[in-house]
Structure 1
Amino acid sequence: MARPNDEVGALLQEYSDLISITGGDEFKARAYEKAARAVAGYHEDVSRLDVRKLREIPNVGKSIADKVVEYLRTGQVRVVEELRAKIPAGVREMIAIPTLGPKKAMLLYRDLGISSVDELVHAIHSERLRELKGFGPRTEENILHGIQVLQQAGGRVHLNVATEVADEIVAELSAVTGCSRCCYAGSLRRFRETVGDVDVLAAAKDPGKLMRAFSQMSTVDEVIAHGEKKTSVRTTKGLQVDLRVVPPEAWGAALQYFTGSKQHNIRTREMAVHARLKLSEYGLFDVETGDLVVSETEDEVYQRLGLPWIPPPLREDRGEIEAAQRGELPDLVSLDDIRGDLHTHTNLTDGLSTLEEMVREAARRGYSYYAVTDHAPNLYMQRMSDDKMLAQREEARRLDGKHRRMRLLHGTELNIDPDGEVDWPHDFLAGFDLCVASVHSHFTQPAREMTRRIVRACENPYVNIIGHPTARLIGRRPGVDADLDEVFRACARTGTALEINAYPDRLDLNDENILRAKHFGVKFAINSDSHSVVHLGFLRYGVGTAQRGWLTAEDVINTWPLRRLRTFLRKGR
C-alpha cells in the first residue's frame, strides 16, 4: 500500500496544477508544489500528525496543513473539488502530457475548445494548433511524442509503487498457517521499470485458506475473480494483483513459468522439446512416459535443461540463454555490493532532511562512504552561493567518520548549461571530492547540440559522473535527443562514470542503454538522488536496473573500496 505521504503529496501537486491551469496565483501554485514534494518525502507518516506537527514539515504552513487534515479526515478537500469542477477531466489529463503543461493545456481549451487527448491529436493532424502563438511544427512534434510517452505508460505504475504493494501482500500471506513459500513473480521480479499488475505466487497444500486471507486483506478494494488456483483483486490504490497457489512440489516450475518473460519461456520450452521433455507451470515432464522429472526448485528446472540458474532480471531473451550455455553469465551486482551513495541532497537546496540526518541514515544502512551533492548556483531557484557551499563543506568535514566511521565526501550536482559549461570555474571545483553533472534545462535541443553539450561536460576534468544522463521522467518527459553512443565513447575516453539514477520515476540510464554503454567500457554509479532520508532505500531499484543491464560489481564505482574510488575520481589529474 502506498504511503499516506505519497497520496497527500499527489493531491497537493494536483492542486498546484489546478491553480496554474485556471490562471491562479503562480506564487501560490509554486508553494503547493514545494509542499507536495516535502510531504511525499517526509520521514514520518503524515496520517498520524496533527496540524501543529504537520507545520513542522518544510514548506507546510497552516493553510496547507489544514487541507491535509481535511483530506485525511474526509477523503477530499473542498477547494480542490471546486477547481476540479471548473475544468473538464480531459483537460486535466492533458496537463500530464510531457512538454505540454498546465498553461498550454488551458490555452488549448480556452482558444480552440480542445478538451481531451484524442481531440488534441486530431487538432495537431489538422494543423489547428498553428493558429496559436508559440505552437509551430516543432511544438506539435514534441506534443505528439509526449502523448506517445504517456500512452506507453498506460495503466502501469512505477516500480516502487508495485513493490510496496507486493511486499505488504507477500509478508501477510507468508504469515498464514500452511503457506510454505510466497514471493512475487512476473515483471516485478524481473525489475521492469513499470508494472501493469502484480503476480504473487504461493505454495500450500490447502489453497483455500490463502485465497480467503488474500481476499480479506485491508488493501483489497474489489475481488475481480475468485477460484481455487487463482484469485484476482484490485487494491485500494487501483493496482490489480493476481494470486496463484500451487502445491509445494510444483513451486520451482511455477515460479520459473510465472516470472517470465514470455520470450524467455518460449526459449526454455523449446529446449525442453529438443530434450524430449515438456515444460509447464506444473513441472518438467518426460514426453513419452508423462512422468514428472523435476519441479520443486528453479535450480532443478534449469539444471535439467542443461543450464545454470538464470537471475530473473536477465530473463528477457537478450542473450542470457546463450551466455548460460557458454558458462558466461555475469555475476550480477547486488545491493550488498554497494559501499556508498554518491548523489544525494539536503535541505540546503531542494532536499527535506538535514545533512546530519542524511549522514546518520546512510551510516545506519552500513555504508563505508557517502556523498552529499547539493545543487550548484546555476539552478537559480535553489539559491546556492559559494559561501553556503563552503559552509556545508566545513560541516561535512566535522561529520566525516562521526557515524559508524563512515567517510563523508563533499560534492555537488552541477548543471550542464546549453553549451556544455558547468557552474563553477576549475579552481573552485578542485575543492570538491566529486562532481555530478546533469542536464536540468533546455531539454529539446537538437541532437547534435545536445550530444556536444554532454560530451563537453565529460571532458571537464572535474566532472566525475553524468547524472540521470537522458533526463527522462518515466511517463512524463522523454529522454533528450542525443547520440548516446558518442556520449558513451566520451565517458570511456575521459574516465567519466554514467549514473544509474535509482529514483523510481527516472531509472536513468535504463537497462537497454546500460547494455550498450557497457560495451564501450563505461563505468557506472548507482545512486539514489535522495532528497530525504526515506529516499535512500530507492537504491534497490537502481541495482535491479543495473542487473537488467548485465552489470557486475566491477562495473560500478560505488562498490569499490574508498581508496580505489578516490583514484578514479581524480580522472588522471
Structure 2
Amino acid sequence: MARPNEEVEALLQEYADLISITGGDAFKARAYEKAARAVGGYHEDVSRLDPKALQEIPHVGRSIAEKVEEYLRTGGVRVVEELRARIPAGVRQMTAIPGLGPKKAMMLFRDLGISSVDELVEAISAERLRGLRGFGERTEENILHGIAVMQQAGDRVHLNVAMDLAEEIVAELAAVSGCARCTYAGSLRRYRETIGDIDVLSAADDPRPLVETFTNLSYVDEVIASGDKKTSVRTTKGLQVDLRVVPLGAWGAALQYFTGSKAHNIRLRERAVRAGLKLSEYGLFDVGTGDLVVSQTEEEVYERLGLPWIPPPLREDRGEVEAALRGELPDLVAEGDLRGDLHTHTDLTDGVSSLDDMVAAAARLGHSYYAVTDHAPNLYMQRMSDDKMLAQREAVRALDGRHHRMRLLHGTELNIDPDGGVDWPEEFLAGFDLCVASVHSHFNQSAAEMTRRLVRACENPHVNIIGHPTGRLLGRRPAVDVDLDEVFRACARTGTAMEVNAAPDRLDLSDENILRARRHGVRFAVDSDAHSVVHLPYLRYGVGTAQRGWLTADEVINTWPLRTLRSFLRKGR
C-alpha cells in the first residue's frame, strides 16, 4: 500500500494545484509544492509523528503541519475540500493533462466554459481555442497528445506502488498455515513500467485459509469474485488483485503461465503443440496419453520445450525465444552488480535529506562508490551558486571513505539549455568528478531542435551522462520529440552514457529505447535520481527496466570498478 507520506504528498500537491487554479498566491502554492515533496521523501512515517515532529520536516511549518495532522486524523482537510467544491471535477481532471496545467485549464473554463476533458477535445476539433491568448495549432497538438498520454495511463499505477502492495500481500499470505509457496507474477514480475492489476500466486493443498486471509486484508474494499482457484479483490485505492491457488506440484507450470506475456506464452504453446504436448497452468502434458510430463519448476518446463530458462523481464515475445534457441540470451545485469549510484540530490537544492544522511544511507546499501550531483545554477529556482557548490565539494571530500570505505564522487546535474549549452564555463566544469546533463525546460522544441540540443550536450567533453533522456513523466508528461537514433550515435561516438533513471515516475530510458540504444553501442548508467534516503532503493526499478532492455553488467558503467569508471568519465580528456 502507499505510504502515509505518499498520501499526504498527493494531498499537499493537490492543494498547491487548487491554489494555482483559483488564482491564489503563487508563493503559497510553491510552498505547498515544496512541502509535498519533502513529506513524500521523508524517512519517517508521518502518521506516527505529532504536530511538533511534523514541523521538523523541511518546508513544513505550523500551518501545513496542522493540515497534515487534520488529514491523518479525519481523512480530509476542510480548506482543501472547500477549494475542491469551487472547481468542477472535470476541470480538476483537465489540470492533470500533460502540457496544459492549472492556469490554462482555468482559463478554458472561465473563458469558454470548458469543464471536462471530453469538452476540451470537442473544442479543439471545432478550433474554438485559437482565439485565446497562448493557444495555437501547436498548443492544440500538444494538448491532444497529453490527453492521449493521460488516457493511456488510465487506472494503471507506477511500478513501485504495485510492488509495495504485492510484497505486503505475499508476506501476509506466506505466513498462513498450509501455504507452501507464494509470490507475485504477471506484468509486475516482468517489471512493466506501469501495472493494471496484480497477480499473486500461492501453492497449498487447501486454498480456504489463504482465500479467507486474502479477502479479509485491511485494505480490501470489495471482493469481486471468490473461489478455490481464483479470488479477485479491489483495494481501497482501486487496484485489483487476483489470487490464484494451485497444488504445489503444479507450481512451476503455474508460475510460468501467469508470468509470461500473452504473446510469449503463445510462442511456448506453439512449441508444445509441435512436440505433441499441451501446456497449461497445471503442467506440460502428453497429448496422446494425457500423462503429466513436467510441472514442478519453471526451469524444467522450459527445458522440456527445448529452451533454457528465460528471465521474466524478457518474456515479451521480442526475440527472446529465438535468442534462447541460439544460446544467445544475455546474462542480464542484476541489482547486486551495481557498485554505486551516479545521480543523487541533497537538501542543498531540491532534495529533502542532508549530505550526511544520503551518504550514510548509500553506504548501508553496500555501495562501493556514490556520486552527489546537485542541480546547477541555470535551474534558477534551486538558487545554486559557485560558492555553494565549492563548499559542498569540500564537505564531500571530507566524507570520502568514512562510511564503510565508500568512495565519494562530487558531481552536478547540469541543465541542457535550448541551444545545447550547459551551466558553468569549462574551467569550472573541470573540477567535477562527473557531470550529468538533463533537459529541464523547453520540452516542446521541434524534433530537429531537440536533437541538435542533445547532440551538442553529448559533444561537451565534461558531460558524462545524459539524465532522464526523454524527459517523460509517466502519465503526466510525454517524451520529448527527438531523433533518438541520432542522439544514440552521438553518445557512442563521444563516450557519453545514457541514463536509465530509476525513479518510478520516469524509468527513462524506457526498455524499448534501451533496446534501440544498444544497437548503437551506447553505454548506460542505472541511477536512482534520489532526492531522499527513501528513494535510494529505487535502483531496483532501474535494474528491472535495464533487464527488460536486455542489458548486461558490462554495458552499465556503474557496475565497473572505480578505476575503470574514472577512466570512462575522463571522456578522452
So what's the TM-score if we normalise by structure 1? Answer: 1.00
Task: State the shift of 1:20 in Å.
Answer: 0.5
1:320 is matched with 320
The 2-side partners of 1:183 and 1:237 are apart by: 21
1:153 is matched with 153
2:563 is matched with 563
**Aligned counterparts, 1:337-486, within 5 A:** 337-486=337-486
The 2-side partners of 1:497 and 1:28 are apart by: 39
Amino acid across the alignment from 1:412: T
2:116 is matched with 116
Q: Deviations over 1:178-208 (max 9, x none)?
A: 1111110010000000000000000000111
The 2-side partners of 1:383 and 1:351 are apart by: 13
Amino acid across the alignment from 1:244: R
1:207 is matched with 207
Amino acid across the alignment from 2:374: D
Amino acid across the alignment from 2:162: A
Task: State the shift of 1:69 in Å.
Answer: 0.3
| SS, match of residue 259 in structure 1 | coil
Task: State the shift of 1:133 in Å.
Answer: 1.1
The 1-side partners of 2:432 and 2:238 are apart by: 45
The 2-side partners of 1:449 and 1:214 are apart by: 53
Q: Deviations over 1:14-62 (max 9, x none)?
A: 0000011011111111110110000000000000001100000000000
> Does structure 1 residue 174 correspond to structure 2 residue 181?
no
Task: State the shift of 1:156 in Å.
Answer: 0.2
The 1-side partners of 2:231 and 2:479 are apart by: 38
| SS, match of residue 477 in structure 2 | coil
The 2-side partners of 1:147 and 1:384 are apart by: 35
1:282 is matched with 282
Task: State the shift of 1:234 in Å.
Answer: 1.1
The 2-side partners of 1:50 and 1:218 are apart by: 24
Amino acid across the alignment from 2:517: A
**Aligned counterparts, 1:294-305, within 5 A:** 294-305=294-305
Percentage of matched positions with identical amino acids = 80
Amino acid across the alignment from 2:260: G
Amino acid across the alignment from 2:75: G
The 1-side partners of 2:43 and 2:394 are apart by: 26
> Does structure 1 residue 78 correspond to structure 2 residue 109?
no
Q: Which runs of 5+ in 1 are unaligned?
A: none
| SS, match of residue 540 in structure 2 | helix
Task: State the shift of 1:237 in Å.
Answer: 1.7
1:5 is matched with 5
Task: State the shift of 1:222 in Å.
Answer: 1.5
Task: State the shift of 1:221 in Å.
Answer: 1.7
Q: Deviations over 1:294-350 (max 9, x none)?
A: 011100100000000000000000000000001110000000000000000000000
Task: State the shift of 1:103 in Å.
Answer: 0.3
**Aligned counterparts, 1:501-520, within 5 A:** 501-520=501-520
Amino acid across the alignment from 1:37: R
Q: Deviations over 1:361-387 (max 9, x none)?
A: 000000000000000000000000000
Dislocated runs of 4+, deviation >2 Å: none
2:291 is matched with 291
Task: State the shift of 1:439 in Å.
Answer: 0.2
1:223 is matched with 223
The 1-side partners of 2:386 and 2:86 are apart by: 46
Amino acid across the alignment from 1:282: Y
> Does structure 1 residue 197 correspond to structure 2 residue 197?
yes
| SS, match of residue 179 in structure 1 | coil
The 1-side partners of 2:235 and 2:44 are apart by: 23
| SS, match of residue 146 in structure 2 | helix
2:142 is matched with 142
1:240 is matched with 240
Amino acid across the alignment from 1:270: E
Amino acid across the alignment from 2:446: P
1:127 is matched with 127
1:27 is matched with 27
The 2-side partners of 1:379 and 1:307 are apart by: 51
Amino acid across the alignment from 2:483: D
Q: Deviations over 1:69-99 (max 9, x none)?
A: 0000000000000000011100000000000
The 2-side partners of 1:228 and 1:368 are apart by: 48
Q: Which runs of 5+ in 2 are unaligned?
A: none
2:252 is matched with 252
| SS, match of residue 303 in structure 1 | helix
| SS, match of residue 413 in structure 2 | strand
The 1-side partners of 2:569 and 2:54 are apart by: 41
Amino acid across the alignment from 1:232: S
Amino acid across the alignment from 2:73: R
Task: State the shift of 1:512 in Å.
Answer: 0.3
Amino acid across the alignment from 2:510: N
The 2-side partners of 1:6 and 1:134 are apart by: 34
